[in-house]
Amino acid sequence: MTMHRICLLVLFAFIGFRGYAQDKNFYIFLCFGQSNMEGNAKIEPQDTVDVNSRFQVMEAVDCPDLGRTKGNWYTAVPPLCRCKTGLTPADYFGRELVANLPEKVRVGVINVAIGGCKIELFDKDHYESYVTTVPGWMKNFISQYDGNPYARLVDMAKLAQKDGVIKGILLHQGESNTNDTLWTQKVKVVYDNLMNDLDLKPRKVPLLAGELVNADQDGKCASMNRIIATLPQTIKNAHVISSAGCTDSADNLHFNAAGYRELGKRYAAEMLTLLGYKPN
């Protein structure tokens, strides 16, 4: 056999291996934002049981106490953001998806979020100047992502793309940008950067943005929901997830555990519809 043929066989074997390694029935979702995506509510016993192994989380930081290592997949038992964060919308988003998708489909989430941050933290070209203005406690959380949460999200997403297909992006952010009329444009910058850095097609990767604690719960930042509602005017494939009726905690800034469960299911219902499935 000639060396040319040997090289071709090796190349075809490598391509075949790559094709086999990437499971097109492994649906991956990127999650980012501030404290309501990070997870503010205490994780309750019901949240840690009966988590289907088809629902996975890629750990974005090292969590030795949880037996988790950055860049690896685990069954999505909370916490899903960092090692000591709380319940998030991503928890019941994933649970609801696997309950409604065919058995052959798995769901994976990657959650990178920082409580209290403005959307500017995820602008890869300007985040450094923003970080100089934040308090020390926030810098400590940011340092867990080597000082650049956006870069960590992209790095983890690139690893995940070897295993599956990115199907959507979940955003919950806005409290720290309340009444910022440029917020939708700032979100578009982050979304466009993700599309470019991960070689994704916007028409195939929707952005689902959740409302903040609603006025019906006396949400302190509920006025921001008027701006969030306009996001589809700026990003064609953006979809707004209502928070109406989702219960909150005493601070009127964060959802409580029941509120996160309901909001997560609403994210899932929208995503299932976009995927062509009818939620039960």
Beta bridge partners of 169: 30, 207
**Exposed e or buried b per residue across 24-39, where buried means at least 16 C-beta atoms within 10 angstroms of its C-beta:** eebbbbbbbbbbbbbb
Whether 126 is a known active-site residue: answer no
Q: Quote the longest CA-to-CA distance of the chain.
A: 76
Residue 272 is given by DSSP the state H
Cα 221 to Cα 237: distance, rounded to the nearest angstrom: 25
Question: Which residue do the tokens 């928070």 mark?
Answer: 243
What does the angle CA 93 – CA 57 – CA 35 come to, to the nearest 5 degrees? 65
Token couple for 244:
């109406």
Question: Which residue do the tokens 């690139």 mark?
Answer: 158
Cα 280 to Cα 99: distance, rounded to the nearest angstrom: 9
Per the residue annotation, which of 35, 172, 243, 248 is the catalytic one? 35
Whether 254 is a known active-site residue: answer yes
Cα 73 to Cα 108: distance, rounded to the nearest angstrom: 8
Pairing of strands 55-58, 106-113: parallel
Residues assigned a catalytic role: 35, 251, 254
